[in-house]
Amino acid sequence: MPKQGFIQLIIIIVLLVIILSLLGVSLSSLFSNPILKDNFGFLGKGLSNFWQNYLSAPFRYIWNIWANLLWQPFVDVMTGIKNGIGPFDNYNKPK
């Protein structure tokens, strides 16, 4: 199934190139345009600034919560399964 999505992506890219060619757009001149490069550079700097000043701290906070609450227990269970211990073996032991 994953190959189907990859093939669809290739078909979409080919169709986009064909449509741009029919509209008279040259991809080589498009990517060598200095104004376009400046605009994308400005956009990249702005997005980098936005990430650094506003989004990175909340993202790291949420990432740490996810890593501590979900990822580490998942890794522990998978390591236990690899070593032959079932995920519910601790619950079935008599006290």
First to last CA, the chain: 47
Place of tokens 């093939």: 7
Residue 72: per-residue pLDDT: 85
What tens digit of pLDDT does each residue of 36-85 get?
Answer: 889 989 999 999 999 999 999 999 999 898 888 888 888 888 998 888 88
What is the arithmetic mean of pLDDT over 12-28? 89
Secondary structure element (H or E) that encloses residue 73, with its range: helix 72-82
